[in-house]
Structure 1
């Protein structure tokens, strides 16, 4: 048999069966990583779900970290394939973006793990995933740059644009779980269309709309402090620990950060953390409580300050970006929701749905008053959250822009869309 004919020969049946079982294993791992977080998945549970004994499981993976690594690697490779196919088959820059998003979010494809807990991995596999991730972002930036060169896309920061689109896609894979709606074929189709429409066309009706916001999130959240009030002093210490934990969890994933690292980041001891919190799970819950207090404050401010539906949507987005780009850094909604206590998960899910409903109402009001483009308000509002929720995953410390400048740049892209508008 020649080398060429051997390459065309069908894979032996045992090898095909092993490959199929490996795919089932990675499918289930991706689902559980997205729901529970990388560090909370249980190998025995996954093995049982896919019909493997624990001993047989180790034929496919060495341990939990190896399973997470293989799940992340498959997600990276799938994204690379989707980008390559979109570039090859797309009819121009906008169609390539559309094809890429549709492939990434296709309902019938195997589930893909969202890359939020990369720091959970040991150093060597972590570096491999980071490299694959960087290559995919570079390829997406190249696609966007070609659109700018062809005058199809408006001039913009290609890094911000590529990462924003990645955030929209990543959040769409998680949002149904957090918001408690069915992720069926019809919902996925609407969500995919909303991502494409928002990225390409934005939500402003007027291409010359002012995307700046006159509200500073730090001034909005500032509170008077009395150093001689013991209760208030304790509250400040607790707040500092929660804020530090939220920043680290956002950047590195909840399972990628230890209590030692959190305490060290504020110059405290691990004992200080246990003085104020029962354990890490309690700290995570407190971080989410603080986050939703901030999300509610931002939404209430936008509703009161905005004169049109567009302004309310813009202020909501701008303040959330400021919060994630600055020191506040409210905990982002990320994999691991099923590791929360049931009552807290229900509380946070209700809060998420309430915010989504208000965002959708702002969008509908904008369409009615002529300030916003007509769109699928429910899924457009849902998708937009991915813009700011993904921000901590890519924005490096010491970025040469202030939080307000970053918010201005991202709001310009998101409100007006990346496509150059006629006239």
Structure 2
């Protein structure tokens, strides 16, 4: 499915029709970004563009059709950017072009000249057949992104290029979270610093990938269903189908308990996402705090934190709550959680600054590097299927290598 696949009769409609349809799509994308696709309503979109609900249904019969059209539009735009990037002759120039096109788009959005994309976090929560069509579109985007590095020579190169593609996409999806701290006239400088990070990574010349895993959680082997068990299952389901898709019934069914058991541990479902975020944030801050116990330089400490969190994220049955679920929380809770995420990034920035001063890390921009690290650990949950095809240690090393050594350095393969 593609928003460009317009039926002949549709293409003959007047320009006014297409202009209003574009306005509806832009308003719907904003609504999805604010409150998720599940929270989207035709009435809300109508209010945003000055139309009645009935008038909106003239363009989109159901809210599911409108959400799917928004997601399809995002996928189409990503393919357009990737096709332009693929015109360049080398992987490094292709990634540079890809990043430059995204930064230019975000500058236009900040100037009010272009509407934002609809974020794709709720794509998996759509119902079939729309879900299947959209996921097929996403796989096309992923394969096109992976092709920025050319044809892989071996299976391990294919795995590495897949990790790089996923992380590059996630880094660009994460940009709007922190880029609003800067004015558009600074974007060229930020782009250059991001490209430096993508090219060379954080680790200084001569540093290797030899992390020490930090114990973060204790997984119970018995069948006792405690509060943490609810949080682990709820975290996984919200990552997979969104907050609104992770119903109390579905969570309870996964644990083979009654809804009453759920409410024994939680006063209300609205408390669930806050509890899941608290658990996830606590795990991340624990890893940062315990890094002081790791022997070696600051790079080894940072890489140990990263490896430990990725080891958790890539495991079946575990994981941290993705920040994409933030679209489902009330505005005041959203602000508090986002601020806590920024504090975690700030802690990473401090670790990176120490490493730069010591010489174990490159002289990168600590803030940009820390946001890249947050994006990396946040997105890793979606790579569990990819990771299941190889030893966990290899998956962690391959996925982390983009931040450690850059997206064009294959030295991580020497250690595998």
Greater alpha carbon shift after TM alignment, 48-57 vs 238-247 = 48-57
Correspondences of 1:229-268 after superposition (within 5 Å): 237-268=226-257
Closer/same/farther in 2, CA of residues 40 and 256 from structure 1, 3 Å limit: same
* Cα pair 1:119 1:256 within 8 Å, conserved: no
Correspondences of 1:7-406 after superposition (within 5 Å): 15-88=14-87, 90-105=88-103, 106-107=105-106, 108=108, 109-146=114-151, 157-175=160-178, 182=181, 184-186=183-185, 189=188, 192-206=191-205, 208-216=206-214, 219-222=215-218, 237-305=226-294, 307-326=296-315, 327-337=317-327, 339-396=328-385, 399-406=388-395
Q: Which has the higher contact order (CA 8 A, sep 6+)?
A: 1
The separation in 2 between residues aligned to 1:369 and 1:303, in whole angstroms, is 15
* 2:8 aligned partner: none
What displacement does 1:38 show? 1.6
Closer/same/farther in 2, CA of residues 226 and 97 from structure 1, 3 Å limit: closer
What displacement does 1:323 show? 1.9
The separation in 2 between residues aligned to 1:143 and 1:397, in whole angstroms, is 19
Q: Structure 1 length normalisation: TM-score?
A: 0.83
The separation in 1 between residues aligned to 2:168 and 2:136, in whole angstroms, is 19
* Cα pair 2:99 2:172 within 8 Å, conserved: yes
Q: Deviations over 1:129-172 (max 9, x none)?
A: 111111111122222134x66xxxx8862221211212212222
* 2:398 aligned partner: 409
The separation in 2 between residues aligned to 1:17 and 1:249, in whole angstroms, is 40
What displacement does 1:124 show? 0.7
What displacement does 1:246 show? 0.3
The separation in 2 between residues aligned to 1:295 and 1:253, in whole angstroms, is 21
What displacement does 1:304 show? 4.6
The separation in 1 between residues aligned to 2:258 and 2:219, in whole angstroms, is 26
* Cα pair 2:81 2:98 within 8 Å, conserved: yes
The separation in 1 between residues aligned to 2:406 and 2:70, in whole angstroms, is 32
Query: Which consecutive segments of 4 or more residues in structure 1 shift more than 6 A?
Result: 223-227
Closer/same/farther in 2, CA of residues 139 and 342 from structure 1, 3 Å limit: closer
The separation in 2 between residues aligned to 1:183 and 1:37, in whole angstroms, is 26
* Cα pair 2:160 2:399 within 8 Å, conserved: no
Q: Structure 2 length normalisation: TM-score?
A: 0.84
Q: Equivalent residue of 2:323, what SS?
A: coil
What displacement does 1:303 show? 4.4
Q: Deviations over 1:281-303 (max 9, x none)?
A: 22112111111111111121224
What displacement does 1:245 show? 0.7
Closer/same/farther in 2, CA of residues 383 and 226 from structure 1, 3 Å limit: closer
Closer/same/farther in 2, CA of residues 19 and 187 from structure 1, 3 Å limit: farther
Q: Equivalent residue of 1:390, what SS?
A: helix
What displacement does 1:413 show? 3.0
Q: Deviations over 1:20-58 (max 9, x none)?
A: 222222223222322322212333222212222222111
The separation in 2 between residues aligned to 1:41 and 1:292, in whole angstroms, is 28
Q: Equivalent residue of 1:114, what SS?
A: coil
* Cα pair 2:124 2:135 within 8 Å, conserved: no
Closer/same/farther in 2, CA of residues 96 and 118 from structure 1, 3 Å limit: same
* Cα pair 1:201 1:416 within 8 Å, conserved: yes
The separation in 1 between residues aligned to 2:270 and 2:170, in whole angstroms, is 26
